[in-house]
Structures are given as structure tokens and as C-alpha cells.
């Protein structure tokens, strides 16, 4: 089965689950009469929402992801390239205005993998990231909220490669979110990134749906595709990784949110499974 067949299969699975998502009688009220919507869903696992922080509002986030993977050959035979990644990620967001915010992320990663019969272990802080986001379109009854942003991945020492890179990375992205009355929230992302030497690029796009169950709990599904292109001396090397994720979140009345999710990708090159735990607090 080709990469494209796998991608089509994942997309079909995504929409099948989207159609079968529980449709309770729970309904949300929303006001679009010239007022900012009081209902916005800003908790996702892989994607980013189009909503921005309000002026003077802080948000702190902490996530943990346990990823196990195994690379396979095009013939389907497993080889020795398998391992695990344990990634902690701390994030801070601050709203300069109701439509303009800054974000800072600092990851820490422990990894183990095999090279031949030798097992290699490494752990270190990853490359810090800074993002600036501006909301260009406010949500109405028919128009989604749309935000654009730019991000920089700060270069660090490469002695802990592949966890940390000495190259700067740059990214531009568009995030969109729409409240679907009595259904939930739909999110869409598009991003393009490049390394400072120009030899590595990544195009990613994703779609997510969040279904409120009651005032505190929500269920969500996400589908994210990452297409990486690397130019090497012998030629160009590209790979596609599509990940499908399902999860649940809990939100209190005091700005605290917690969530748990399971994600899986499966194509001719790579088998990957990930468990994600995520916390957010805003005030």
C-alpha cells in the first residue's frame, strides 16, 4: 500500500468517526450581535486554535507525550530503527491586546533508539520556540475566527542531536476556528517551516473537531499531516507522517484544563503510537 493510500484510509477513518461522534442534546448559546463570542474552545492536542488570549491574560501549559515508533522498509519488513521519545513541553502565552499575543515554548526530551544492535539513550532540553500571533478575522455567525502567525526556533548546541539542532528554524502559519451551533468546534491549521540553511522544509496541515459533552467535559478528534523535505548531497529525501488522535478534556470554572489523548500513524515508512497528557491554566 502506498503512502497516498494510507493517507486516504486515514482521512476516511477521520470522517467516519466524525460522523459517529456522540450527538447529545446539549446545546451552547452564542451571541454574534456585534459582541465577541463568549464560547471559544482553546484546548487541542496537536493543532492550534484560532482564538487568541485577551488583553493582559496569561496562560501556562505543560504537556507530556510518550511516543513509540518503528521504521519499516517499503517491502513492509521491520528493521532495527525503533525507539521511544518522552517529551515534556512547557509553554507560556500572553495577550498584548485582545487580538495579538506572544507564545514561548521550551521542550525537554528523553529518547532511546537502536543503531544496529546498539541501543542509544539521550536526554536534553530541546530548541526553545517563540511565536507571535495576530487575529486577522473575528468570528461571526458565518465566518470563522482566523489568526496568522510567525515562529522562530532558536538554535542550540548540536551535541545532543537529533533532539537539539544548531540550526535556526522559521515558520509561518494560519489557524482557523469555527463554533458550529449545537455541534461543537471545528479547527483547521496550515503551516510551513524551513531551516536557516534552507535544506529542510516542512508543510503541515490538520483538521480537528471538539464536541462538548457537558459544561466540564469535551471529546475531540484531530488529524494532522506533516510532509518533510530534506535536500542532501545524494539527492532529495522526503517523508510523510499522518497522525490521527482522539482524546478527552476536562475544564473547571477557574481556568484549569486537563486532557488525555491517544494518537497513531501508520504508513509504509513508519509505525508510531503516542499518548499525550496536557494541562493548561489561564488567568
pTM value?
0.81
pLDDT band of 240, cuts 50, 70, 90: confident
pLDDT digits (tens, 9 = 90+) for 116-140: 778 888 888 889 999 999 999 999 9
Weakest-pLDDT range from 30-39, 131-140, 215-224: 30-39
Q: Is the distance from CB of 272 to CB of 241 less than 8 angstroms?
A: yes
Helices (H), the chain: 3-20
Q: How confident is the model at residue 265 (pLDDT cuts 50, 70, 90)?
A: confident
Q: Contact at 8 Å (CB) between 37 and 31?
A: yes
CA distance 118 to 111: 14
> Residue 45 in contact with residue 247, Cβ under 8 Å?
yes
Q: Which residues neighbour 65 within 8 Å (Cβ) at sequence distance 6 or greater?
A: 85, 86, 87, 89, 274, 275, 276, 277
Q: Measure the CA–CA gap between 168 and 156, rounded to whole angstroms.
A: 8
Cα–Cα distance for residue pair 82/71, rounded to 1 Å: 6
Mean pLDDT of the chain: 82
The more confidently predicted of residues 65 and 20 is: 65
4: left (phi over 0), alpha (psi -120 to 50) or beta: alpha
Q: What is the mean pLDDT of residues 147-175?
A: 89
Amino acid at each position: 500500500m502506498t503512502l497516498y493510500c494510507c493517507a486516504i484510509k486515514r482521512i476516511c477513518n477521520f470522517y467516519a468517526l466524525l460522523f459517529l461522534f456522540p450527538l447529545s442534546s446539549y446545546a451552547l448559546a452564542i451571541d454574534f450581535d456585534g459582541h465577541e463570542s463568549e464560547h471559544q474552545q482553546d484546548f487541542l492536542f496537536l493543532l492550534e486554535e484560532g482564538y487568541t488570549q485577551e488583553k493582559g491574560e496569561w496562560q501556562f501549559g505543560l504537556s507530556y507525550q510518550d511516543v513509540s515508533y518503528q521504521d519499516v522498509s517499503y517491502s513492509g519488513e521491520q528493521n532495527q530503527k525503533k525507539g521511544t521519545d518522552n517529551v515534556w513541553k512547557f509553554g507560556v502565552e500572553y495577550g498584548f491586546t485582545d487580538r495579538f499575543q506572544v507564545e514561548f515554548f521550551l521542550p525537554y526530551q528523553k529518547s532511546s533508539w537502536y543503531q544496529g544492535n546498539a541501543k542509544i539513550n539521550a536526554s536534553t532540553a530541546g530548541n526553545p520556540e517563540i511565536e507571535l500571533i495576530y487575529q486577522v478575522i473575528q468570528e461571526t455567525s458565518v465566518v470563522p475566527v482566523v489568526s496568522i502567525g510567525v515562529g522562530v526556533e532558536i538554535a542550540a548546541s548540536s551535541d545532543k542531536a537529533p533532539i537539539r539542532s544548531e540550526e535556526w528554524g522559521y515558520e509561518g502559519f494560519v489557524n482557523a476556528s469555527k463554533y458550529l451551533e449545537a455541534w461543537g468546534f471545528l479547527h483547521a491549521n496550515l503551516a510551513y517551516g524551513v531551516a536557516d540553511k534552507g535544506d529542510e522544509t516542512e508543510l503541515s496541515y490538520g483538521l480537528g473537531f471538539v464536541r462538548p459533552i457537558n459544561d466540564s467535559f469535551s471529546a475531540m478528534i484531530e488529524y494532522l499531516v506533516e510532509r518533510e523535505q530534506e535536500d542532501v548531497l545524494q539527492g532529495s529525501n522526503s517523508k510523510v507522517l499522518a497522525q490521527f488522535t482522539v482524546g478527552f478534556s476536562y475544564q473547571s470554572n477557574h481556568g484549569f484544563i486537563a486532557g488525555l489523548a491517544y494518537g497513531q500513524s501508520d504508513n509504509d515508512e513508519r509505525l508510531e503510537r503516542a499518548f499525550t497528557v496536557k494541562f493548561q491554566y489561564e488567568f
